[in-house]
Amino acid sequence: MDKGLDVDLRQMIIVIETAVSLVGMDDTNHGKRVGFIASQLGYELGFSEADIRFAFEFGLLHDCGVSTESMHNNLVNQFNWDGANIHCEIGYRLLKDFAPLAKFATPIRHHHTSWSELSELNISAYDARMTNLIFLADRIDVQAAAHYGKDILLVKDQIVADICARSGSYFNPVFIEAFKEVQRSEAFWIALEDRHITRYTWEMGHVPSSQRLTLPQIKHLSLILSYVVDQKSPFTAQHSVRVADVARFLAQSYGLSEVQCDKVEIAGLLHDLGKLHTPDKILDKPGPLDPSERAIMNQHSYETYEILRHIPGLEEIARWAAFHHEGINGKGYPFHPSARELSVEARIIAVADIFQALVQNRPYRAGIDLSTALSMLSDMAEEGKLDRDIVGLATKLDKQCYEIAKGSDPNGNQNFIRLFE
């Protein structure tokens, strides 16, 4: 009997932070640092252990609505960017209907609201308190990020002065007083360096949470992550969702068990997580990539693997998702596994990914017609890149696969994803 998935909620929160922080390109630990800063302030303020855990996890999740470099750059280069509410609203919509994380939705929605304006909102005192705590932690990190591992102990006094000047307007004065105390320790600032904050988060991630996620909840969370990925470029809108739909359909038609079909669907949803670390200009290029751009693009599957492989319970899914550009003939990327290392689930996702990409309308070209797409799949099977049996199954079920890949199937995830929009 196939086993379902059993994954710790905190581990999946770390998956979200790890994926979203990749958007920062040269700075991929912002969420971890915000969580750490918020938790240290919580200790100083006498928070309960439950509230400190809430603050830490909220810090990890606060930017879950960020997909693009341009949005990230505006958020870190401007203290009070006019467009900051966009990612706050996206994050709110993504989490509000996902029960295990719904408690973070309202605080995320307002985490760029100044302290002086929070009293005007119809939210609880607890949410107002936590949202301002994260706003403070976020802005501390933004001010300090360029100095970690370099001259942070030399510039920290200026950072403190800049933050404290906003007491009572942007930030709760009580929180500012706590920050003044916490920051006196050099250890506070040194702990924010990459090698230390990564270890801290790793250790926190291995403290079990009180909740295990069911397979349907993991699917829902995977849909959330697929939405974040697909919003990174207009060229790939809903690509992950439709790849997952095609892959599940092929897995069911192939005769895999219901649990395996669920896992294949989840792997399809998550297969492009690593693209969050691909520069926007490469994803948005309306034409062929040059060799240097292609070399960067070819790293995204490995990034997907690194995000997922550390999570107990997701080991198989990590491989299936990361192998979606591998060829049975060994000519894909980035691992070059042998044919026997490519499971049928990985082979299904590879066919679903290519087929969906071929028939999907992109801003720079119309989707390829069904006959041409099938011919191209057949050629790839003949070359040894794709599995002949899976391509044959897709050819036999061509019209159904085409409707699903185009988003016309009424049973697909594309209807579910509208809940996030």
- For 130-159, b/e burial (b = at least 16 CB within 10 A) is bbbbbbbbbbbbbbbbebbeeebeeebeeb
- Amino acid 285: pLDDT: 86
pLDDT for 415 equals: 45
What average pLDDT values come out for the chain (421 residues) when binned by 10 residues? 74 91 83 96 97 96 90 83 90 96 97 94 96 97 93 97 97 98 97 92 77 92 93 84 96 96 96 91 87 93 93 93 94 92 96 95 82 96 96 96 85 52 53
Quote the CA–CA distance of 311 and 147 in Å, as a whole number.
31
Length of the chain, in residues: 421
Segment 347-375, tens digit of pLDDT:
999 999 999 999 988 767 788 999 999 99
Helix, strand, coil % in the chain, rounded to nearest 5 = 65, 0, 30
Distance CA 371, CA 349 (A): 20
CB distance 232 to 280 below 8 Å: yes
How large is the angle between the packed helices 370-383 and 398-406, nearest 10 degrees? 110
Look at residue 55 and give its three-state secondary structure.
helix
Domain 7-205, architecture per CATH? Orthogonal Bundle (1.10)
Residue corresponding to tokens 């510039």:
155
Locate 374 and state its tokens: 């099938």
pLDDT of residue 288: 86
Question: What pLDDT, on a 0 to 100 scale, did the predictor assign at position 254?
Answer: 97
**Which residues carry out catalysis?**
275
Nearest to 95 by CA among 165, 149, 22, 20: 20
**Strands 212-213, 7-8: pairing kind:** antiparallel
In whole angstroms, give the CA distance from residue 15 to residue 233: 21
Q: Is 8 helix (H, G, I), strand (E, B) or coil?
A: strand
Superfamily of 214-420 according to CATH: Hypothetical protein af1432 (1.10.3210.10)
Cα 208 to Cα 50, 59, 95, 214, 381: the distances in Å are 13, 18, 21, 15, 45
- Cite the residue boundaries of each domain of the chain with CATH code 1.10.3210.10: 7-205, 214-420
